[in-house]
């Protein structure tokens, strides 16, 4: 396959569009596939790590004003970790876009660090090609689910437990949760969940995981039962 066709296919797979495909080629080139050290993605990886960290921190600060510094630090550290970057790179198919030397194969065993580093280099290429907003669009599309998972895991208020306790005390009943709809590919799945209490339906909610959607639906139901408007509407 010609390089130009290969890069076109990679852009389609990853859901991006580069004005300068040379930046994309550079970001996808592992040191084993580079003719000269400066043609590998190692320098881009350094830049991409900082861009990723900045976008995640900025998103947390602007979107979640009630989260304290300690929690933001914990969430950011997990979301930008090599482990997370490796897993998400696998999920979006970045492995199939690697440019490797003859001693390595995209189909064989590739160290997780190679994919994690390529993810960071790819983010740098997006930034260099279209600025922070282009990088932000991709990062939030791919990493938002991880942020929401961490928010649920770190949330002191477990709304499902709070709702169950409240309903049991007030009505002697148990909330029932049901998935109404799911959308998106496996790595970007969204869940639409509703909750019923004694046959009465409450405002449903969407989430990046079933757990997140159930928590949001529980928070909605709890608010309505207390006479407040639901937080999550669609």
Instruction: Say if residue 28's pLDDT is above 80.
Output: yes
In b/e form, how buried is each residue of 96-126, taking b as 16+ CB within 10 angstroms? Answer: ebbbbeeeeeeeeebeeebbbbbbbbbbbbb
Q: In angstroms, rounded to a whole number, what is the distance separating the alpha carbons of residues 173 and 106? A: 54
Question: Which pair of structure tokens corresponds to residue 30?
Answer: 């592992």
**Region 171-178 average pLDDT:** 92
Q: How confident is the model at residue 156 (pLDDT cuts 50, 70, 90)?
A: very low
Question: Which pair of structure tokens corresponds to residue 83?
Answer: 């482990």
Question: Which pair of structure tokens corresponds to residue 193?
Answer: 């969940």
pLDDT digits (tens, 9 = 90+) for 94-141: 999 998 887 666 556 788 899 999 999 999 999 999 999 999 999 999
For 221, residues 6+ apart whose C-beta sits below 8 A from its C-beta are: 163, 175, 195, 197, 202, 203
**Region 186-210 average pLDDT:** 91
Alpha-carbon dihedral 51, 75, 119, 63, rounded to 10 degrees: -50
Active-site residue among 45, 120, 214, 219?
120
Give me the chain's average pLDDT, please. Answer: 89
Residue % of the chain over a pLDDT of 90:
58
Residue 122: per-residue pLDDT:
98
**Whether 176 is catalytic:** no
**Region 52-67 average pLDDT:** 89
Active-site residue among 4, 39, 42, 49?
49
pTM: 0.67
Phi then psi for 153, rounded to 5 degrees? -65, -30
**Whether 165 is catalytic:** no
């Amino acid at each position: 396959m010609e390089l130009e066709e290969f890069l076109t296919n990679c852009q389609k797979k990853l859901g991006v569009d580069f004005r300068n495909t040379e930046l994309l080629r550079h970001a996808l080139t592992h040191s084993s596939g580079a003719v000269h050290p400066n043609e590998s993605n190692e320098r881009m990886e350094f830049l991409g790590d900082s861009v990723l960290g900045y976008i995640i921190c900025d998103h947390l600060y602007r979107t979640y004003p009630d989260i304290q510094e300690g929690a933001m630090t914990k969430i950011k550290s997990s979301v930008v970790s090599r482990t997370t970057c490796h897993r998400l790179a696998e999920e979006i198919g970045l492995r199939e876009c690697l440019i490797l030397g003859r001693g390595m194969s995209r189909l064989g065993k590739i160290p997780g660090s190679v994919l994690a580093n390529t993810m960071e280099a790819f983010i740098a290429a997006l930034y260099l090609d279209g600025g922070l907003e282009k990088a932000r669009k991709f990062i939030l599309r791919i990493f938002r689910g991880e942020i929401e998972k961490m928010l649920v895991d770190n949330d002191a208020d477990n709304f499902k437990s709070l709702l169950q306790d409240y309903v049991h005390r007030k009505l002697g009943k148990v909330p029932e949760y049901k998935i109404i709809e799911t959308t998106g590919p496996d790595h970007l799945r969204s869940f639409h969940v509703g909750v019923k209490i004694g046959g009465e339906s409450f405002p449903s909610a969407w989430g990046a995981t079933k757990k997140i959607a159930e928590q949001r639906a529980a928070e909605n139901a709890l608010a309505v039962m207390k006479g407040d408007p639901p937080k999550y509407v669609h």
